[in-house]
Structure 1
């Protein structure tokens, strides 16, 4: 078992879950009508259809994070899978995407959003897990 990849995979699930929950509570809660799942209340130049796609994209990011987490956990638990060329490619791709995501969130929020730290930790863990 590769503990670095396992922890990185678990962090992906935690990040995705907290992203969806906090997004709903802090951003989308006040933009929903009574008993609606998708936000529709727009109080700016934004159109309702734009708000809907922002909401869908918000949660899509969480789903993709969970998928990446599942991939990392599967590779972490299968010792014979870790040495394959495709697994190394997948882990390298995840490492690059997590490090780039960290940089993007860091720059985009001027370091005020803690997500960049979690992306950085996941990137470092996957990089470390690749060499194990």
Structure 2
């Protein structure tokens, strides 16, 4: 078992979970009509249809993180059973994705959003685990 990949995959799940929960609470809660799942209360700068796609995209990011986490956990548990080239490609693609995502969040938030640290840590764990 590859402990580095297992920890990185678990962090992907945790980050996605925290991302969705906090986003719902801090960003979208006040933009939703009572009884609705999808927020639709926009304003002059952000129309309802734009808000709906932002909401969907917000949760897509979490879902994609969970999918990457699932790959990493699977590789961690049964790496020997996978084709080495497929594992190598998946590992490097994941590491690059995490490093670029970390940089994007770092720059966009002027390092004020802690998500960049978790993304960077996942990328490092994936590289070290390989």
TM over 0.5: yes
Please give the TM-score of this superposition, normalised by the length of structure 2: 0.97
> Which structure 2 residues correspond to residues 1-132 of structure 1 after superposition, within 5 A?
1-81=1-81, 84-130=84-130
**CA deviation after TM superposition for structure 1 residue 79, in Å:** 3.6
**Structure 1 stretches of at least 4 aligned residues deviating more than 6 Å after TM superposition:** none
- Note the alpha carbon deviations across 1:17-67, whole angstroms, 9 max, x for none: 000000000000000001110001112321111000000000000000000
- Distance, in Å, in 1 between the alignment partners of 2:61 and 2:120 is 16
Aligned length in residues: 130
Change (3 A) 1:116 1:20: same
The unaligned stretches of length 5 or more in structure 2 are none
Q: Against the structure 1 CA distance between its residues 77 and 90, is the aligned structure 2 distance closer, same or farther, given a 3 Å change threshold?
A: same
Is the Cα–Cα contact under 8 Å of residues 81 and 87 in structure 1 kept in the other structure? no
RMSD: 1.0
